[in-house]
Amino acid sequence: MNTAGTDVGESTIARLRELDDAYAARPRSARATDHLRRVLERRALQAPVRTKLRLWPAVAFVAGALLMGVAVRMHASAPEPQTSTSIALEAVDDESGCARLGTGDIVVTGSRCLEDDGVRITAHRPSRLRRAAVDYWLLEGEVLFDVRPRLDDRIHVHAGEASIDVKGTRFVVRFDAEGGGVTLLEGRVAVRVGDAPPRDIASGEHVSWPSLTAAKRGSASTGPGDAPLENLGEPEAEEVGSRRRLTPTPDLQSLLAEVHALRERGKYEQAIARLREGAERLSDPRARQVISYETGMLLERQVRDPERACVHWREHEHRFGGGLYASLVRRSMSRLRCHESKRMETPSALESE
Amino acid sequence: MTTEPRASSKAQVHRGAVDPVEALAQTIDRLYREHHATVYRLALRYGSGNEAWAEDVVQDVFLTLLDALPSLHDVDHLGGWLYRVTTNRCLRKLRRDRFLDHPVVHACLGPFRDRAVDPPEAQVFARRDLERTRSVLALLPPKECIVVCMHLLDGKSQVEIGQILGFSKSYACKLLARGMARLQRELR
């Protein structure tokens, strides 16, 4: 036989076959055979048990996978901070936790604040914003911005035709189909409407502007290009079932302009006196509410008399309850710690004059 | 373990008329009776006539068969499967024995391992020529011994040897050539 290039003699193969035949002729011992049969029988009877036992790793794996799936699903279904924020002015506290403020389109609907990069946003009503780095566009709604002092990278807030440059302050911006407005609570911001040059406004001041659509309807004589900044204490009068807005009457408008002039000259007490006179003269409850709010802001921001401000705000709450400025008033009272005051007397600040 | 006739047990298994465990026991019993002689002969050949060694292999092979039985499609034609499993089991056992017999390993494990002594039946062949053939075959390296026996005694081709042992054809050819040369040299 020639295998793999090696000649193997027939005698070698014959001797191997002979050896193999000798092995084959050897009988197996009966004892070994019986032993092996017993082993096989025992193993055959145990086979189902072993099969069941082998199922346990699979069962454990499936259970683990299910748990992981449930955990992932719960995590995925957790509310996203950008879209489920909510606001309550009472919760605007440095110690309170805010959800992370993301970029892109943001819907603020709830009672928690959003914060990122030193900017905290609190919605006074359901609002839509868009954010890109330091630029914020208020598309609709009313939002309180609380911006920590910044050395660089000013914040720019855009609301319709107006843009607001912010370096560190607190202010409320409102914008909807009728127009927009900004109320500065602290610090100083520069507001520019349309092509008009930017104008700094002081704390307590309110600036509003009409929207392009409102201007085109002819409801206002001023367009975005030449719109003068109105120092109106203009509230948004939203009633249940309607969107009736307060249009400042000529009396209220002239009164507010007069008060603004006095405030510009630093004659705050005179401004307060004029407001209280106007409150007695005007019969429109909404106008009285505006005047009351302006009075409180003067006491709080310009006069800086917490006691008088607290008294006034309590009176305001008592008279107007959940009115137009309810949230702002509650925030002011919280900041002034009016609730901790032991003084319970609530003299009628407006009617006593 | 039952000793019922083959046809009866087979029919019961196929009909599923008996308990599955009992059916499995009957099937393995039948397969054992059919194939144990072939398996034992192969084991004796590669174990150089050591009956205890061969019994170990037979037990391993049939326990493997028991575990693999549910996954085997054609239970009635298990000759090839048993040949492959037995050969590989013998090769693994031979290599393990060879490793344990290495002087270094033996020196390390000496105090803990009793050296296997060839039993009398492995040492005594009435005919001196058979004894010489056995001892020469036992001296071959495990792979060469098995490849040579598969080729010369079982008529397996190099391709088949490669497939059964998991070697490439060229490696099987090399082992075969080397083993035959060594066998010729020793038996001359």
Do both B52 and B132 map to the same domain? Answer: no
Q: Using the beta-carbon criterion (under 8 Å), do A6 and B158 form an inter-chain contact?
A: no
Of residues A52 and B41, more confidence is placed in B41
The answer to whether residue B49 sits within a structural domain is yes
How close are the terminal C-alpha atoms of chain A, in Å? 133
Q: Give the whole-number percent of chain B exceeding pLDDT 90.
A: 28
B147 interfaces chain A, CB cutoff of 8 Å: no
Instruction: Tell me what percent of the residues of chain B surpass a pLDDT of 70.
Output: 81
Optimal mutation site among B28, B42, B133, interface A, most CBs of chain A within 10 A: B133
Residue pLDDT, tens place only, B51-69: 888 989 999 998 888 888 8
Exposure string for A270-300, b = 16+ CB within 10 A, e = fewer: ebbebbbebbeebeeebbbbbbbbbbbbbbb
Average pLDDT, chain A: 72
A15 CA to centre of own chain? 94
Does residue B90 lie within any of the structural domains?
Answer: yes
Q: Which residues are CB-contacts of B118 (< 8 A; sequence separation ≥ 6)?
A: B48, B50
Chain B residues with CB-CB distance to A8 below 8 A? 152, 180, 183-184
* DSSP summary character for residue A236: -
pLDDT value of residue A67: 94
Identify the residue among B2, B30, B32, B41 best suited for mutation to test binding to A, counting A beta carbons within 10 A and taking the highest.
Answer: B41
Q: How confident is the model at residue B119 (pLDDT cuts 50, 70, 90)?
A: low
Mean pLDDT is lowest, of A15-24, A49-58, B18-27, for A49-58
- Is there a domain that residue B119 lies in? no
**CATH code (residue B62):** 1.10.1740.10
Is there a contact between B56 and A32 (Cβ–Cβ < 8 Å)? Answer: no
> Which of these, A88, A124, A123, lies nearest to A106 by C-alpha position?
A123
Is the confidence at residue B145, as pLDDT, over 60?
A: yes
My answer on whether B143 and B82 are in the same domain is no
pLDDT higher than threshold 60 for residue A102: yes
pLDDT-based confidence at residue B89 (cuts at 50, 70, 90):
very high
Please tell me the predicted confidence (pLDDT) of residue A10: 80
If pLDDT is split at 50, 70 and 90, which confidence band does A107 have?
Answer: confident
Q: Confirm whether B61 is domain-assigned.
A: yes
- The model's confidence at residue B73, banded by pLDDT at 50, 70 and 90, is confident
Return the closest-CA partner of residue B47 out of B115, B166, B146. B146
Neighbours of B167 (CB within 10 A): 17
Q: Identify the domain containing residue B173 by its residue range.
A: 126-188
Topology (CATH level 3) of domain A81-230: Jelly Rolls (2.60.120)
User: DSSP for A311-340?
Assistant: HHHHHHHHHHSS-TTHHHHHHHHHHHTGGG
**Residue B186's domain is classified under what CATH number?**
1.10.10.10
Domain boundaries defined on chain A: 11-75, 81-230, 233-353
Closest chain B residue to A46, measured at CA = B21
Mean pLDDT is lowest, of A15-19, A49-53, A261-265, for A49-53
Q: B66 and B152 share a domain? A: no
Q: Least CB-CB distance to B176: which of A3, A12, A23?
A: A3
Which member of A19, A24, A38 has the closest CB to residue B133? A19
Enumerate the residues of chain A whose CB falls inside 8 A of the CB of residue B177: 3-6
DSSP state of A186: E
More confident residue, A305 or A42: A305
Same domain, B80 and B38: yes
**How confident is the model at residue A226, as a pLDDT?**
34
Strand partners, A234: none
Alpha carbon of A319 to those of A253, A293, B32, B45: distances in Å? 22, 12, 102, 111
Residues 6+ apart with CB under 8 A from A153: A134
CB–CB of B137 and A19 under 8 A?
yes
Phi, psi of B73 (to 5 degrees): -80, -50
pLDDT score of A21 more than 50: yes
Range A311-337 average pLDDT: 81
How far, in Å, CA of A347 to CA of A340, rounded? 18
pLDDT, tens digit, for every residue of A120-154?
Answer: 888 777 888 888 778 888 888 888 888 887 766 77
Lowest mean pLDDT among A162-176, A338-352, B124-138: A338-352
Q: Does any domain span residue B118?
A: no
Query: Percent of chain A at pLDDT above 70?
Result: 72
Can you name the CATH fold of A233-353? 1.25.40
Assign B143 a pLDDT band (cuts: 50, 70, 90). Answer: very high
- For residues A262 and B84, the model is more confident at B84
**Residues of chain A in Cβ contact (below 8 Å) with chain B:** 1, 3-9, 12-13, 15-20, 22-24, 26, 28-29, 32-33, 36-41, 43-45, 47-48
Average pLDDT over residues A86-105: 56
Tell me the backbone φ, ψ of residue A174, rounded to 5 degrees: -130, 140
Same structural domain for residues B15 and B90? yes
Residue A341: pLDDT above 50? yes
Q: What's the number of domains chain B is made of?
A: 2
Chain centroid to CA B63: 13
| Rounded alpha-carbon distances, angstroms, from residue A152 to A75, A115, A166, A167 | 37, 18, 10, 8
Nearest residue of B to residue A51, measured between CA atoms: B67
